Chains A and B, each alone.
Chain A
Amino acid sequence: MATAHEKTQNDLRSTPVRDAEYTTVSGRPVEPVYTKADVPHLDSTLPGEYPYTRGVHPTMYRGKLWTMRMFAGMGTAAQTNERFKFLLQKGQTGLSTAFDNPTLYGWDSDHPLSMGEVGKTGVAVDTLADMERLFDGIPLDQVSTSMTINAPAAWVFTMFLANAEKRGIDFAKLRGTLQNDILKEYIAQKEWIFPPEPHIKLITDLMAFCSENVPQWNTISISGYHIREAGATAAQELAFTLADGFCYVDHALAAGQDIDDFAPRLSFFFNSHLDFFEEIAKLRAARRIWARHLRERYKAKNPRSWLCRFHVQTAGCSLTAQQPEINIVRTALEALAGVLGGCQSLHTNSMDEALALPSDKAAEIALRTQQIIAFESGAANVADPLGGSYFIEKLTDELEADAEKYFEQIDVLGGMVKAIERGFPQQEITRSAYEYQKAVSEQRKIIVGVNDFANEGEELVIPILEIDESVEREQVVSLRKVKEGRDNLAVKDRLEKLERAARDNRNLIPYLLDSCRVYTTLGEIRQALVKVYGEYKEQAFY
């Protein structure tokens, strides 16, 4: 006997409907309607209550709005400093630093591989001198600062610390987040230096150092953002990100740290794509899964260890180069999903990002979008406003179940490092990216302005930011001057000590800090550590 619910669904399935593919952007099939029967075990907990499905705080945004944190960085440190001040003046509440590609790989601006890349997609930082210019006049003890850097994160962070120290700012007062998530680099973004184990060692070193010395700092932002941008589905983003998180926990525990010392400082970073409800459900599922695993599997006692706190960025890959103005609408929907999903901070992409780095105007509109959500839409008044929606609750359950299935597969492969070495997440993502592209090619998925509703002979009418080619020359000259002006004997001495400490397997953070204090370059530190750890080579998983 079919239940009344099944009958309704069957009736609806046989009712003629528009010819379209009724799946989410991740290819998940959805029903025409959801009812109580879809969620027999409705999660009836409150926001701020374990397992935090509905939010990490009881009052959510009534207590504190999310931090409006716009990712910025381009050209020289002085140029980025200007953009920082512009954004703070427009009402932004936290800083987020984008570094250029050479910096992300730990190369100096004068390295041959840096040709054409200096200051292009972020700010170029070679030494403490650049860090000084980057944060000049910004009260680091008052504004929280996020730095999107991974492979050389440990020594970019000690450069940041050396700058704070020079300015007499107490480390205990520094607030912010270091992305520092190397596993997703192997999976998606591909910006690494060493093989996984030494990188993870540096991460656990930093966790230990910060627990003691920089207690308000989020030592890692375990990131699904890039995994999603590389083509993952919502479920893959969720599963691989949390699996990375478990992997860091395992390593810190293996290094002898106490779970409740470091877990409260772990934070996350998710993507918010265009499939509104699935994204909200993904964020809710993330909190529930993390809380359950931390409490039940890892036996963390401190409730702060159970919290999955996260930053959200709207999906760069959903932006189109065609009719760029309509990207404002896409971003607004994605940002709203991030807020309804309970994010702690949010970056909204600018409409021109499929074309170039954001112009001032475009960045301002993106920030204004957040302000409209916060102050005009009413979305910030009520915690988890969609909790109890049959559809949202059902999707939350489904995503959780999908993630658990992936965790099992990863366990079978011997954990996340092994799974990455075997190319498992990489292959899963490459496949999803291709499936999605095929759906777009075959017009099963519509992208307005691209494969439907396109404007013939469209002309670009928005201003585009151009990075002057002279930035590279300027930066190379400035680096040379720093090298000439510093105490080169001290640099040599610190590098030797660093190398020895690496060979002796000591906590390297104090040695990195010492090296940065005397204006050792990013690339010099890289070289010293590569001697000990070797370099990781790309595995072409296809």
Chain B
Amino acid sequence: MAEQPIKVVVGKPGLDGHDRGAKVVARALVEAGMEVVYLGLQQTPEAIVAAALEEDADVIGLSILSGAHMPHFRRVKELMDQQGLGDRLLTGGGIIPTKDQETLSGMGVGKLFGPGDDPQMIVAYIREWVKEHPRA
């Protein structure tokens, strides 16, 4: 049987309206054969995790350019763990200083991407991660 598509929930938490990156990445994921549930702007962490749960997503991708990445990633990860989604990948992108990336990585957040990173890197990373973390 054909390999089943990877399902990714993409959302922008918080208040910044810069959705160019989220849309370009979403499109690259679709062209790489993934099924992307796009949530749009101004999503609360609660809404993002609730959607990922109903969609049984393999991956949650957040895009944040407002500088509010720390509280949002922290909260989303917390909710994922509480709701049984601890085995899914939380990744994302934005203007996120290396120091913050390291802190988030320590909390179990996956690799984060920044300006200039090629969307194909994200595609490759997600594919690799899903391959290495097969779900029951």
Q: How far is the CA of A354 from the CA of B96 in the complex (A)?
A: 9
Interface of chain A: mostly helix, strand, loop or mixed:
loop
| Contact across chains for B68 and A319 when beta carbons are under 8 A apart | no
Question: A534 in the interface, Cβ–Cβ < 8 Å?
Answer: no
Q: Counting chain A CB atoms within 10 Å of each CB, which of B23, B27, B40, B72 scores highest? A: B23
| Contact across chains for B115 and A117 when beta carbons are under 8 A apart | no
Q: Which positions in B face A, CB cutoff 8 Å?
A: 14-20, 23-24, 26-28, 38, 40-42, 44, 66-72, 95, 97-98, 114-116, 118-120
| Contact across chains for B97 and A117 when beta carbons are under 8 A apart | no
| Contact across chains for A104 and B67 when beta carbons are under 8 A apart | no
Min CB gap A181→B, angstroms: 14
Q: How far is the CA of A515 from the CA of B68 in the complex (A)?
A: 31
Q: How far is the CA of A133 from the CA of B116 in the complex (A)?
A: 38
Q: How far is the CA of A533 from the CA of B18 in the complex (A)?
A: 25
| Contact across chains for A120 and B68 when beta carbons are under 8 A apart | yes
Complex contacts, A191 vs chain B, CB 8 Å: 15, 17
Residue of A nearest to B14 (CB): A117
> What's the interface size class on A, roughly?
35 or more
Min CB gap B131→A, angstroms: 22
| Chain A residues numbered 317-344 whose CB sits less than 8 Å from any CB in chain B | 317, 319-322
Min CB gap A456→B, angstroms: 15
| Contact across chains for B17 and A441 when beta carbons are under 8 A apart | no
| Contact across chains for A437 and B24 when beta carbons are under 8 A apart | yes
Q: How far is the CA of A319 from the CA of B116 in the complex (A)?
A: 9
Q: How far is the CA of A430 from the CA of B38 in the complex (A)?
A: 15
- 18 additional A-B pairs beyond A112-B44, A355-B95, A440-B118, beta carbons within 8 Å, are A101-B15, A107-B15, A113-B14, A115-B14, A116-B69, A116-B71, A117-B67, A120-B68, A121-B67, A189-B18, A229-B18, A229-B20, A357-B67, A430-B27, A434-B23, A434-B27, A441-B118, A466-B97
Q: List 11 A-B contacts (CB under 8 A).
A: A101-B66, A107-B15, A113-B14, A113-B42, A117-B14, A121-B16, A121-B66, A190-B19, A321-B114, A430-B23, A538-B41
| Contact across chains for A354 and B15 when beta carbons are under 8 A apart | no
Complex contacts, A433 vs chain B, CB 8 Å: 20, 23-24
Question: A257 in the interface, Cβ–Cβ < 8 Å?
Answer: no
**Leading 3 A-B pairs by shortest Cβ distance:** A190-B17, A116-B68, A120-B67
| Contact across chains for B14 and A101 when beta carbons are under 8 A apart | yes
| Chain A residues numbered 345-363 whose CB sits less than 8 Å from any CB in chain B | 354-357
Q: How far is the CA of A264 from the CA of B23 in the complex (A)?
A: 38
| Contact across chains for A354 and B24 when beta carbons are under 8 A apart | no
Residue of B nearest to A111 (CB): B15
| Contact across chains for A116 and B70 when beta carbons are under 8 A apart | yes
| Contact across chains for A451 and B17 when beta carbons are under 8 A apart | no
Residue of A nearest to B28 (CB): A437
Question: A373 in the interface, Cβ–Cβ < 8 Å?
Answer: no
Min CB gap A120→B, angstroms: 4
Q: How far is the CA of A230 from the CA of B18 in the complex (A)?
A: 7
| Contact across chains for A540 and B44 when beta carbons are under 8 A apart | no
| Contact across chains for B66 and A117 when beta carbons are under 8 A apart | yes
Q: With A113-B44, A120-B68 as given contacts, are A102 and B15 in contact (CB-CB < 8 Å)?
A: yes
Min CB gap A515→B, angstroms: 23
Q: With A354-B114, A356-B97, A467-B67 as given contacts, are A441 and B18 in contact (CB-CB < 8 Å)?
A: no
| Contact across chains for B66 and A120 when beta carbons are under 8 A apart | yes
| Contact across chains for B66 and A464 when beta carbons are under 8 A apart | no
Q: How far is the CA of A105 from the CA of B15 in the complex (A)?
A: 8
Complex contacts, B71 vs chain A, CB 8 Å: 115-116
Q: How far is the CA of A460 from the CA of B95 in the complex (A)?
A: 14
Residue of A nearest to B42 (CB): A113
Quick one: which of A104, A354, A437 contacts B95, CB cutoff 8 A?
Answer: A354
Q: How far is the CA of A116 from the CA of B67 in the complex (A)?
A: 8
Min CB gap A354→B, angstroms: 4
Question: A224 in the interface, Cβ–Cβ < 8 Å?
Answer: no
| Contact across chains for B14 and A116 when beta carbons are under 8 A apart | yes
Q: With A115-B68, A116-B70, A121-B67 as given contacts, are A450 and B116 in contact (CB-CB < 8 Å)?
A: yes
Question: A398 in the interface, Cβ–Cβ < 8 Å?
Answer: no
Question: A478 in the interface, Cβ–Cβ < 8 Å?
Answer: no
